[in-house]
Amino acid sequence: MECAGSKIVDAHDRLHFKQRLFHGAGQSETPAERFSTERVMDFSIKTFDGKNALPTAKTGCIAIGVFEGKKLSASARSLDVKGAITAALNSGDISGKPGSTLLMRAVPGVASERILLVGLGKEDSTGARDFVSATQATARALSTIGSNDAVLALPFDRVKERDLEWAVNAAVLASREVAYRFDDLKSTQDTPQTGVKKLAFAVSETSLASAKLALAQAQAIANGIELTKNLGNLPGNICTPTYLANTAKKLARDFKLGVEVLDRKQIQALKMGSFLSVTNGTEEPPKFIVLKYNGGKAKEAPIVLVGKGITFDSGGISIKPSASMDEMKYDMCGAASVLGTFRAVAEMKLKINLVAVIPSCENMPSGRATKPGDVVTSMSGQTIEILNTDAEGRLILCDALTYAERFKPALVIDVATLTGAIITSLGHHNSGLFTRHDDAHDALAEEILAAGKETGDTVWRMPIEDAYQEQLKSNFADMANIGGPPGGSITAACFLERYTRKYTWAHIDIAGTAWKGGAAKGASGRPVPLLTRFLIKRAKQTA
Ligand code: BES
Ligand code: MN
Ligand code: ZN
């Protein structure tokens, strides 16, 4: 039994994108949803019971688990027909530690051209992290062999505190992560795709149905993550607010979503004085993007996802230092992760109602830019003294959060690369999670924390308290837009909190997690794994 992987190449878009790019047109009118996805992986689920057993499977490679202490997994035992695997373990060629691999060719008694031994740690105590590093190592090893297809016969149902669906999902995400490249802006590709492109997951007959569902969902999630990464990695001169709006429109076409893109005039009519103040200094037109997905019951209140869409944050008049300013092209990663999550949810056809609200603009200095000390009136009517034009994320989000009221939401989650201070607090491992502290919000926080743990896309809860709110006091307006250096990510959350009192709300500060620096510089796709997991579980609850 097979189920084919989805074709995700959009060659037409790619071509037009390249033509525009290399003929000097700085902006694309039609967004290329995908860039480097000629590196498509074709996944399927197969059973190797009875007549069609693993040793006789005709394939380029079978990946099987081995443990520390020279121990074999069940599928390793089934392929150890003439003792070659045992011999390899006994000779010390592989430690069995998570992440270790050993490629064997022409193994006696086995039809497959190769066998890849994959270390899973201590026997029968493979933890989630161990399994993830094993699948990453497997994907890397399979990406360099001279074969087009392979079978993954890892013990998907034996990961501690995780089920088979989780393991299939982890293996798909690891494979897609390893295959991901973003080199379409280079005139020649870095490295052409090599190795395995067709990957079959070996599961038992009884697990077939759940494995197939998990595979379909994992591919949808991987597609969402890739969309988020592509948008994040695109430079500010291509990924403008208009580009994000066109991406939303294309998603709406492809997945039959509702879409509305408000331009400056419409944003003015809504009296979003705070959002508009951020866009004063730039020639690039602002966009206010609304997407709607109705997979749930008609009367069911929607979940609203709000994403910060600053396509470049220079800081404005409170200009940032030059070093690393290029990284502020990632300041739309909140918006990108909301779009990526939408793509995944729509492809999974989850039974929920979802709304995306994305305020998007550039933050630039100019003769018309907002100045420190300026006072603006937000859509909520509350006035804001802008003491620092670089604290712009909260200024665009507060109006989006007010706008979200009209959907009578079940809950609202905003996602934003909001503060450098969250990186000081939590580094690059956890995103910051903020909610009010009452029973309803504690429950929501627990749900989000759990979704983070289940996906490895973790969050850490931070406080919102009146003592911090006091730091936002202004002598000239209802509030200032900064609260001084102490607790910078908390005062930013406190600012947003003032615009969310009509519904249940959570804020996720992804400034430390949305992209990676150093040699692996690029967007991470976080927190799409977290958000999709949260929504999958919500959909099950309400079904
Ligand atoms: N986009 C930045 C936050 C940011 C900083 C994200 C570093 C990723 C890495 C945000 O708009 C910003 O500039 N925040 C200021 C707020 C300050 C002026 C109160 C910050 O964090 O320095
Ligand atoms: Mn800023
Ligand atoms: Zn910013």
pLDDT band with cut points at 50, 70 and 90 for residue 17: low
Q: Is 313 near ligand 1, meaning CB less than 6 Å away?
A: yes
> What's the CA-to-centroid distance between 401 and ligand 3, angstroms?
17
**Average pLDDT, integer, range 338-342:** 98
Q: Find residue 116's DSSP bridge partners.
A: 63, 103
pLDDT band with cut points at 50, 70 and 90 for residue 543: low
Tell me, yes or no, whether 114 and 188 share the same domain.
yes
pLDDT of residue 3: 38
Give the other-Cβ count within 10 Å of 297's Cβ.
12
Tell me, yes or no, whether 254 and 111 share the same domain.
no
Tell me, yes or no, whether 160 and 258 share the same domain.
no
Tell me, yes or no, whether 196 and 258 share the same domain.
no
Does 527 sit behind a cis peptide bond, omega within 30 degrees of 0 on the bond before it?
yes
Q: Is 511 near ligand 1, meaning CB less than 6 Å away?
A: yes
Q: Is 391 near ligand 1, meaning CB less than 6 Å away?
A: yes
For ligand 3, a single-atom ion, the residues with CB < 5 A are: 310, 313, 331, 393
Residue 81 lies in a domain: yes
Residues forming the active site: 320, 394
Residue 126 lies in a domain: yes
Query: Hey, what are 369's tokens?
Result: 């830019």
d(CA 64, CA 105): 14
State the closest ligand 1 atom to the C-alpha of 320, by its place in the atom list counted from 1.
Answer: 13
Tell me, yes or no, whether 30 and 68 share the same domain.
yes
> What's the CA-to-centroid distance between 434 and ligand 2, angstroms?
19
117-176 pLDDT per residue, tens = 999 999 989 999 999 999 999 999 999 999 999 999 999 999 999 999 999 999 999 999
Residue 534 lies in a domain: no
Q: Is 393 near ligand 1, meaning CB less than 6 Å away?
A: yes
Instruction: Tell the residue number behind the tokens 């060659």, with chain if given.
Output: 11
Which structural domain range is residue 466 located in?
Answer: 234-503+520-526
> What's the CA-to-centroid distance between 458 and ligand 3, angstroms?
22
Tell me, yes or no, whether 257 and 205 share the same domain.
no
**Pocket residue to mutate for ligand 1, from 419, 482, 507, most atoms within 8 A of Cβ:** 419
> What's the CA-to-centroid distance between 392 and ligand 3, angstroms?
6
Tell me, yes or no, whether 13 and 161 share the same domain.
yes
Which ligand lies nearest the alpha carbon of 418? 1
State the closest ligand 1 atom to the C-alpha of 488, by its place in the atom list counted from 1.
Answer: 19
Read off the CATH number of the domain in which 331 is found. Answer: 3.40.630.10
Residue 540 lies in a domain: no
Radius of gyration over alpha carbons of the chain, in Å?
25
Residue 368 lies in a domain: yes
Query: Hey, what are 495's tokens?
Result: 């600012």
Q: Is 420 near ligand 1, meaning CB less than 6 Å away?
A: yes
369-411 pLDDT per residue, tens = 999 999 999 999 999 999 999 999 999 999 999 999 999 999 9
Query: Hey, what are 42's tokens?
Result: 């074709």
State the closest ligand 1 atom to the C-alpha of 417, by its place in the atom list counted from 1.
Answer: 6
474 or 187, which is more confident?
Answer: 474
Nearest CA to ligand 1 atom 8: 511
| Cα–chain center distance at 335 | 11
Q: Is the pLDDT of residue 10 over 90?
A: no
Residue 251 lies in a domain: yes
Read off the CATH number of the domain in which 133 is found. Answer: 3.40.220.10
**Pocket residue to mutate for ligand 1, from 390, 414, 428, 515, most atoms within 8 A of Cβ:** 390
Q: Which is it for strands 258-262 and 62-67: parallel, antiparallel or unpaired? A: unpaired
Question: 0.85 cut: is pTM over it?
Answer: yes
Q: Is 392 near ligand 1, meaning CB less than 6 Å away?
A: yes
pLDDT band with cut points at 50, 70 and 90 for residue 6: very low
Tell me, yes or no, whether 282 and 142 share the same domain.
no
28-69 pLDDT per residue, tens = 433 444 444 456 799 999 999 877 899 999 999 999 999 999
Q: Is 419 near ligand 1, meaning CB less than 6 Å away?
A: yes
Residue 191 lies in a domain: yes
**Average pLDDT, integer, range 429-449:** 98
pLDDT of residue 78: 95
Burial of 460 (0-12, 13-18, 19+ CB in 10 A): middle
19's CB contacts (< 8 A; 6+ apart) are none
The residue among 212, 243, 259 that closes a domain is 212
Domain count, the chain: 2
Q: Is 202 near ligand 1, meaning CB less than 6 Å away?
A: no
Query: Collapsing DSSP states into helix, strand and coil, what is residue 345?
Result: helix
Residue 228 lies in a domain: no
Tell me, yes or no, whether 433 and 357 share the same domain.
yes
Tell me, yes or no, whether 398 and 449 share the same domain.
yes
Please answer whether residues 114 and 61 qualify as being in contact, where contact means their C-beta atoms are separated by less than 8 angstroms: yes
The residue among 145, 180, 212 that closes a domain is 212
> What's the CA-to-centroid distance between 383 and ligand 1, angstroms?
21
Tell me, yes or no, whether 350 and 457 share the same domain.
yes
Tell me, yes or no, whether 172 and 248 share the same domain.
no
